[in-house]
């Protein structure tokens, strides 16, 4: 937080790190060090991501999986979000923390691979 009542100097430092990161003025070493402790670059985006992750957990509770259709009528934004997580992951732009969290709930990164494997298993059973 920018305002940290117990330690204003820390609050200012955190704000400075976020500003430098957004301007691409923070070394990759410092970015990695901060990310290794779960540093949040954009609080608003983090809150939005957490909200969508919770929606995905609810979907999993109802359907038994995380295979949200891209055009999920009940919650179109969830389908788009799931697709965007796969895209970010394939471009290596998803933080390791988010990858781990998604994988911890059985998130499927590649639908095509899932289909191929299911078809192979079905043919093998014949």
**Is the same domain home to 50 and 69?**
yes
Is residue 86 located within the same domain as residue 29? no
Are 87 and 62 in contact by the 8 Å Cβ rule? The answer is: no
In this structure, the number of other CB atoms found within 10 A of the CB of residue 82 comes to 23
As for how many domains the chain has, the answer is 2
Distance, in Å, from the CA atom of 31 to the CA atom of 18, rounded to the nearest integer, reads 10
Whether 49 and 32 map to the same domain: the answer is no
Closest CA to 35 of 54, 21, 25: 21
Let me know whether 57 and 74 are in one domain.
yes
51 and 36 in a common domain: no
Tokens at 23, concatenated: 């301007």
**With a cut of 70, which residues of the chain have pLDDT below it?**
1-4, 113-123
Same domain, 13 and 73: no
Are 37 and 64 contained in the same domain? no
**What is the domain extent for residue 20?**
1-41
pLDDT at 91: 96
């Amino acid at each position: 937080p920018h305002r940290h009542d117990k330690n204003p100097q820390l609050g200012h430092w955190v704000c400075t790190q976020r500003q430098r990161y957004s301007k691409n003025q923070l070394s990759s070493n410092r970015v990695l060090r901060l990310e290794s402790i779960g540093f949040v670059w954009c609080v608003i985006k983090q809150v939005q991501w957490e909200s969508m992750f919770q929606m995905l957990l609810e979907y999993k509770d109802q359907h038994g999986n995380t295979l949200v259709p891209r055009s999920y009528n009940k919650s179109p934004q969830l389908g788009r979000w799931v697709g965007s997580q796969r895209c970010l992951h394939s471009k290596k732009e998803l933080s390791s923390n988010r990858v781990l969290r998604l994988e911890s709930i059985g998130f499927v990164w590649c639908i095509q691979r899932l289909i191929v494997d299911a078809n192979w298993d079905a043919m093998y059973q014949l």
